[in-house]
Amino acid sequence: MKRWFLLLMILALTLAACQPLVMENAPPAQPNVATVATVDDALAAPDATLPLDPAIRYGVLENGLTYYVRHNEEPANRAELRLAVNAGSLQEDDDQKGLAHFLEHMMFNGTRRFAGQELVNFLESVGITFGPDLNAYTSFEETVYMLHVPTDDAEILATGFDVLEDWAAYATLDQAEIDKERGVVVEEWRLREQTASGRMRNEILPVWLGSSRYDERMPIGDMEIIRNAPRDVIERFYKQWYRPDLMAVVAAGDFDVDAVEQMIIERFSTLSNPADETAHENYSVPSYDATRYLVATDPENTSTQVRLSYMQDAEPLETAAQYRDLLVGRLFYSMLQSRLDEIGRKADAPFVGAYVGASGLVRPVELATFVAQVNDGGALAGLEAVFTELERARRHGFTESELTRAKTDLLRFYEQAYEERANTESSSLVDEYVNHFLEKATAPGIAFEYDLVDKLLPDITLAEVNSVGDDLQGEANRSVIVTAPEKEDAPAPTEDELAAVLTDVLAADIAPYEDAVVEADLVGDLPAPAAIVSENEISELGITELVLENGVHVLLKPTDFKEDEVLFTATSPGGSSLVSDEDFPEADTIASIVSQSGVGDFDQTALIKLLTGKTVSVSPYIDELSEGFSG
C-alpha cells in the first residue's frame, strides 16, 4: 500500500460551492469479489479470484464508493478508520504539481463541520493527538487519511465518520488557511529534500523511474506552484479526483458492525460523481536495455551502500496461482538471504550487512534488490559478494535441504500469524483492506491463507524456485547504485569500476554452495533435574514459587497473552561490579560475543539451521550489579 514510504523512506469560495450533488440514500450494490469460496475450490480452479475474508462486511454503494467494516477487539474500545482515495500526484495537471499533497494538508484546516483548527482541537480534546493517531499520506497513486478513535462513546465514533465524510467532499479550502499552509509545506520540503538522504533520493529515483510520468510527478511537488497556486486550481484537483467511485471507507474496531455500516451508508450515499468525470489513467514505467549506474556522494552522508536491482513487472495477487508464484519467489529470496547471512557472520565478511528481496516500487513495477551495507571504501567488494551469490544461485541452484528449511520457516510464519489471529490489531486489518481496494491484492483472511500455504508448499519444487534466478540476469532493467560520503581517504568507486566487477563475476568460476549441516544433538546428556524442596502459591499474583535443592528460586505464572509462547528470565546478583579492573573489558563485552556464538558442536550458522521452524531466543547479559539470561 504505502509504496511512497518504501521508496522514499517517508513520504475561498462559499461552502455551497464545495458541496457535491446529492443522491437519494440507497442500499449498497451487491459486490462481486470472488469466484471460489474455499481453499479446495481455489486449488481446483487456480485462476479464479480468491474470496474476501468473510469476517469483513463489504459493500459498494450505488455511487461507486466501496466500504469495508470489520469487528475486532484488539485493542478494546478503539477503532481504526480510513478514507482511501485512489488518486495521488500522478493525477495532477502541469499547474498542480504538489497540490495532491497540499490538499491533504488542507483537510486539517477547515471542513463543513470544523472551521480552521477546530478538527484538530476536537480530536485532541478526546485524547487523539495529531501525528501518530491522526495522520495522512500522499503518494504517486493514492491519498489515505487515518483516524484512531475511541468506541466507548458512540458520539465520538459517529464524529469520526463525520470527519471522513467532510474530508471526502466538504473541505472549505479557505483562502487564508491556504496561504498559511503554503509555508508549512515549503518547510516540509526543505526538511525532507534539503538533506543528504533527500538529495540522494532525488538522484536515485530517476534511475528507476526516468522517462515516466512518475519521475515528473514527485508527491512533494514544485515549490513555485505551492507558493503561488490559486485556490481554484487546488479546488479543481479536489473536485476531479475526490469522488465516490475512487474512494473507500475502511473501519475495523471494537464496535457494532451493523451500526457502523449504517453510519457509512447514511453519510456517503449522498455523494455523487462529477458529470464531466475525468478518466483515471494507469501509468507505466518504461523498461531499459542497458545497465544504469549511479554513484551518489554527499558530505553529510554517514554510510556507504551498494544496491544491485532488477526492475520487473509487478504481478497481481488475486488467485491461487498468483499466490503460488508469490511463495516461489519468497522461497528463492529466503534461501539467498540465508546464504548472505552466513557470509556476514564470518570475521572477514565483505559487508557489514546484506539484504535481498523483491518489493513494490510503484504499482506497475517492483524491484528485486540486493543491498550491501559496507565500510567506507568497500562498495566494490560488497557488490562482488552479493552478485557472486546471485550468480552462484543462478548457475547451480539451491539444495533440497535449503528448500526444506525455507519451506519450514515460511509455513511457521503463517502458522504463528494464524495462532495469533485473535491478537491482530485493527491497524493491521485496515491496512490490508486499503491495499485490497487500491491494488486489488487478495485479502482472504489468515485462516484461509494459512490453509492455502499449507497445501501449496509441499508441491513447490526446487526446479521452480531455482527458475526465479532466470529473470535476474542480463543488462536489461538492471541498475547499480552506490551512495557514500564524500571522503578523500575513501573515494567512491567509478561507474567503470562497478561495471568491471559485474564483468569479472560473470567470467569467474563459481563453485556450488555446500550446505554443511552438523549431525548431532544440541544437548547430549541432559543434567539431572534438581528436586523441589518447597512450593508456595502467591494467589494474588497468580504465581507459584518453587525452591529447588540447589537453592534456585523459580517463579511460574501461566498467561494467555500470546499463543504458543513461553518467556523466561534468570538472574543472580553480582555483575561486573565483582570483576577486577583487568577483567572489566571482557565482562563488558562477553555477553554480546556469546549471543553471536554457537552452542556446543554447533557454530552460529549450524545452530540457525538446526532451529529451522522454531522460534527460540536466549540472550545473556552482565549488568553492573547482576547477570543472567532471558528468552
- Closest by alpha carbon to 109, among 173, 192, 201? 173
Query: What percent of the chain is helix, strand and coil (3-state, nearest 5)?
Result: 40, 20, 40
CATH at 264: 3.30.830.10
27 located within any domain: no
| Shared domain check, 572 and 425 | no
Q: Are 572 and 627 in contact, with CB atoms under 8 Å apart?
A: yes
Same-domain status, 489 and 589: no
Cα dist from 575 to 60, 592, 620, 623, whole Å: 63, 15, 12, 5
Cβ-based neighbour number of residue 536 at 10 Å: 11
Let me know whether 207 and 319 are in one domain.
Answer: no
Q: Is residue 220 part of a domain?
A: yes
Q: Are residues 364 and 407 both part of a single domain? A: yes
403-441 per-residue burial string, b: 16 or more CB within 10 A, e: under 16: bebbbebbbebbbbebeeeeebebbebbbbbbbbbbbeb
Residue 18 within any structural domain of the chain:
no
Is 258 a domain residue?
Answer: yes
Amino acid at 219: P
Residue 435 shares a structural domain with residue 560: no
261 with 301, same domain? no
- Sort strands 365-374 and 353-362 into parallel, antiparallel or unpaired: antiparallel
Q: What is the pLDDT of residue 580?
A: 84
Tally the domains of the chain.
3
Assigned domain for 56 exists: no
> Three cell numbers at 533?
524442596
Domain boundary among 233, 268, 303: 268
Domain boundary among 474, 507, 540: 507
Which three cell numbers mark 12? 475561498
Decide if 103 contacts 170 (C-beta within 8 A): no
Cβ neighbours of residue 376 under 8 Å, at least 6 residues apart? 303, 304, 484, 485, 487, 490
Within-domain flag for 1: no
Q: What is the mean pLDDT of each run of 10 residues along the chain (631 residues)?
A: 36 27 39 76 97 97 99 98 99 99 96 93 81 79 96 96 98 98 96 92 96 97 99 99 99 99 98 95 97 97 97 96 98 98 96 97 98 97 99 98 97 96 97 98 97 99 98 97 93 97 99 85 81 87 86 86 81 84 81 76 71 80 84 68
Q: Which domain holds residue 608?
A: 532-630
Same domain, 240 and 358: no
Q: Are residues 325 and 457 in the same domain?
A: yes
The answer to whether 332 and 382 have CB atoms below 8 angstroms apart is: no
**Statement to judge: residues 191 and 113 lie in one domain:** yes
- pLDDT value, residue 307: 98
Alpha helices of 26-117 — where are they, by DSSP H?
39-44, 99-106
My answer on whether 221 and 109 are in the same domain is: yes
Residue 580 lies in a domain: yes
Whether residue 253 is found in the same domain as residue 304:
no
Is position 33 within any domain? no
Does 343 lie in the same domain as 303? yes
- The pLDDT of residue 134: 63
